Amino acid sequence: MRNVSIIGVGCTKFGEHWEKSFRQLIAEAGIEAILSAGIEGKDIEALYGGSMASGRFIGQEHIGALIADQLGLNPIPATRVENACASGGTALRSGYMAIKSGEYDMVAIGGVEKMTDVGVEDAAIALGGAGDQETELFHGASFPALYALMARAHMNEFGTTEEQLATVSVKNHHNAMLNPKAQFHREITIENVMNSGYIATPLKLLDCSPITDGAAAVILCESEKAREICENPVEIIASAQASDTLALAGRKSLSEIMATKVAAKNAFEKAKITAKDVDFAEVHDCFTIAEILAIEAIGFCEKGKGGKFTADGNTALNGEIPVNVSGGLKGKGHPVGATGIAQAVEAVLQLRGQAEKRQVKDAKIGLTHNVGGSGATCVLHLLKALEGKK
């Protein structure tokens, strides 16, 4: 089995892009990634594109072919990957496995979503399909409601407070201020979060990630070849994926995400490292409780201690384990199909020392964590920098 590296990255600014179409967004990110890699389109042998709900959002299916067409990559095989909010991370894993198996040497991975072309109600219905439509959405359980149940369970079991949840949002908005491609560029306070109004108790408006347009892309290459053509390749040293029940009612516990726990364990075993070896992490904070559940399941802190661990500053940019230095889904934005790829873009920038004001000091190993739905899917990658051509 061969090793796989990222040699090029691209990402649009995340936000409300009324002036840009779905295809324009993915073309922008894809072209940036190809130019960043210093290659030509003819070098790419296959394409995997992550998009969760393009049919619902813009009436467009057949996304793999659309992306290949927009980037001038025909006639290579192009495949759409859908895995709810983990569509991007799963597309990345699909390309990783295609190269690792020996089928291809170089693959393009994209993720895109155009979410603001429909109203909030229609967007909520589209996103609700990431859960169990029959037993949850049909009965009125929106995604804020599902994560609110998980938050309440964590609070009841471990004493986590709403103020501790709010510190996640405050931190990630602060980090987003340092990211020119983030959706939100304004600081917020715990008081702002606490006064922002309940969406589903105990989650308030500022505990929730926004509706976002955006796209991201990476170019993957077999590692030996990557060293020959790239000055600063970043190797994916482990990729892992796990699943859980689609509906919360089938879970053994509401106070943890088992798929994250399993994926993290498998990834660390493959890479022969532990959570203590990770220098920074981009985790799936679709709601503030989701970040707390993630850092516990990955092993950055003890189960039940995530709220206090965050409130004490351990996940800040200069903390023990910086988490979501890009701004995360909460501050950077969450165009669902693009999120997992954007996490990888941030990891590459950090490991190359190119993250500017949000650069993590001496970053050697990074982690990306992308979740589908309320935790039915988790895709996790570990990455480290390599020495390339001189």
Residues marked as catalytic:
85, 334
Cα–Cα distance between 80 and 87 in angstroms, integer? 9
Cα–Cα distance between 102 and 282 in angstroms, integer? 29
Backbone φ and ψ for 368, nearest 5 degrees, come out as: -120, 140
Cα–Cα distance between 185 and 187 in angstroms, integer? 7
Cα–Cα distance between 255 and 265 in angstroms, integer? 18
Cis peptide bond upstream of 75, omega within 30: yes
- Ordered DSSP codes for 336-357: HHHHHHHHHHHHHHHHTT--GG
What is the H or E stretch that residue 95 is in? helix 87-100
* CB of 212 closer than 8 Å to CB of 14: yes
Cα–Cα distance between 169 and 65 in angstroms, integer? 37
Sign (positive/negative) of CA torsion 168, 250, 82, 56? negative
Cα–Cα distance between 166 and 204 in angstroms, integer? 9
Cis peptide bond upstream of 202, omega within 30: yes
Which is it for strands 46-50 and 78-81: parallel, antiparallel or unpaired?
parallel
The HSE-up count of residue 290 (CA atoms within 13 Å, CB side) is: 32
Distances (CA, A) of 49 to 13, 27, 215: 18, 12, 10
Cα–Cα distance between 9 and 31 in angstroms, integer? 9
Alpha helices in 11-62 (DSSP H): 22-37, 54-58
* CB of 292 closer than 8 Å to CB of 160: yes
